[in-house]
Structure 1
């Protein structure tokens, strides 16, 4: 057994003892930037939005659909998301005996910039083009080691977590930036790059998702032409700005239906739709069932 396998085995034991893989779903740890996801069976494709994060599979495998492309990865690779990126995910390998288990380490672009400003970025391969907001690469022992130390903190005191977790996450970002993913992270974090401008556009849409989107005004805000905004936005997210806003609205609607006892029409207006019937049609198209039926299904899933 090599060092990576030893580290992975140790990580699995810590996580399983703390949370038990038999409990399916998302589990937030006491470290705000770290959470886990478990499943004892394969799933169909589900629509999600990746946040800026590093995602690692401990057991099992997953398929990720981005635009027209489909990727698969397991414990030998990692996924890096630079911004809020819509995707479809499907757990491929999972069982009662060997459940699917993965971790996510979230970060802010400011965290990346804080690391980048202290290294020589001339060695990072850069080009002026934007590219998709997801990046896959092989996991190395050098990256696994600090990730393992971060996981071990879940058994430590709050004082140790609060002090050491940010330092370890900064170390993880340092390793990523000095590896193949460095150019990828640099383009999204550095002010003035095309990719960074699109990140600002994404943030603007997310923060004002329930307001009517004026693409011309959005392009002016980030200092780009409308055509350039559209082209680069689609490259990074696989969607147009309007499609992305619709995705955000429907995801927010799903959370409201799950967590609040409200009518579908009320949710429709709250997320920015002028017509409840249009909301219901688009919701059903995205999630495969009506808002009311989906709300019942979601509550049964978490009960």
Structure 2
């Protein structure tokens, strides 16, 4: 079954990078070489690996996965991903299904399942092994890429719902139920994350974020760290540095301008924190990236 899934993905992901499909929330990922660690902000999703191996770092926590394993991401997280096993003749191949809270809630309701039965906050990343039934559903969703557009429009939502249903029955079911529950602690932390993401250049006030999440400041800080493996201020810093890096690469901004645009008032502080995050000062790191990774996409 894994070989069937890999064959379908190889037919439709013909170049390295992320390929959008006609099916909502479904993306194909391909990489023909092992990579250095690449920083990205990962959206809530399930990533099914069909070929190769990858490691994702969240803070100091490492998550390695390969067939028939899959990665579950339950919050928008600044992570570092590294393709560990890939080659031109046998590239890394992955199907990513983005998680939609409304679709999850509808599946839970239509299946007659109970909502989240407990509200213990969990880390925003997890790795599990896909059983035959789940793999079969994922393979059938991918195989619809070979079907006419009319069949895809009708059958892809059904295949997505089956995948979500089988995930809800498995060991990650409680995590998905918390995504679907608007009042779960995870959903409330996600509201705070969404605010930070859209206001990353602004001054961050933890008490205001706690109020947005309907939590006390101490409870909010604890739960936020559990989900993201970092404090709210560290999370904001990660977003700022990644956005500054993107601006320098995509718009050729100098370090001082990029740092100012993302909220840094001190160029020296920006340079220090950038070097701490990416291993080199901004100018040298961007030059290295342009030389070595100009053609390499960000795999999310």
Normalising by structure 1, we get a TM-score of 0.87
The equivalent of 1:199 in structure 2 is: 190
Structure with the bigger RCO (C-alpha within 8 Å, sep 6+) is 2
The equivalent of 1:106 in structure 2 is: 98
The equivalent of 1:19 in structure 2 is: 13
**Contact map agreement 2:63 2:126 (CA 8 A) in 1:** no
The equivalent of 2:3 in structure 1 is: 9
The equivalent of 2:34 in structure 1 is: 42
Q: Does 1:63 find its partner at 2:55? A: yes
Normalising by structure 2, we get a TM-score of 0.87
Give CA-to-partner distance per residue, 1:179-210, whole Å, 9 cap, x none: 22211111232122222211111111112112
Q: Tell which deviates more after alignment, 213-222 or 69-78.
A: 69-78
> What runs of 5+ residues in structure 1 fail to find an aligned partner?
1-6
1: CA distance between counterparts of 2:117 and 2:288? 46
Which structure 2 residues correspond to residues 157-168 of structure 1 after superposition, within 5 A? 157-168=148-159
> 1:41 Cα deviation (Å)?
3.1
The equivalent of 2:279 in structure 1 is: 288
> 1:158 Cα deviation (Å)?
4.2
Give CA-to-partner distance per residue, 1:92-148, whole Å, 9 cap, x none: 2223342222221112222222222334444x7733321111122211121122211
1: CA distance between counterparts of 2:183 and 2:167? 21
What is the count of residue pairs matched by the alignment?
Answer: 294
Identify which of 266, 270, 273 aligns with 2:261: 270
Identify which of 171, 177, 188 aligns with 2:168: 177
* Change in 2 beyond 3 A, CA 1:66/1:179: same
* Change in 2 beyond 3 A, CA 1:290/1:175: same
* Change in 2 beyond 3 A, CA 1:232/1:140: same
2: CA distance between counterparts of 1:158 and 1:292? 47
> 1:245 Cα deviation (Å)?
0.9
2: CA distance between counterparts of 1:34 and 1:148? 12
The equivalent of 1:118 in structure 2 is: 110
* Change in 2 beyond 3 A, CA 1:169/1:261: same
**Contact map agreement 2:20 2:27 (CA 8 A) in 1:** yes
Runs of 4+ with >6 A deviation: none
Q: Tell which deviates more after alignment, 232-241 or 179-188.
A: 179-188
> What runs of 5+ residues in structure 2 fail to find an aligned partner?
296-300
Q: Tell which deviates more after alignment, 31-40 or 140-149.
A: 31-40
* Change in 2 beyond 3 A, CA 1:238/1:154: same
2: CA distance between counterparts of 1:163 and 1:260? 41
Give CA-to-partner distance per residue, 1:80-101, whole Å, 9 cap, x none: 1111123333322223342222
> 1:250 Cα deviation (Å)?
1.7
Which structure 2 residues correspond to residues 220-231 of structure 1 after superposition, within 5 A? 220-231=211-222
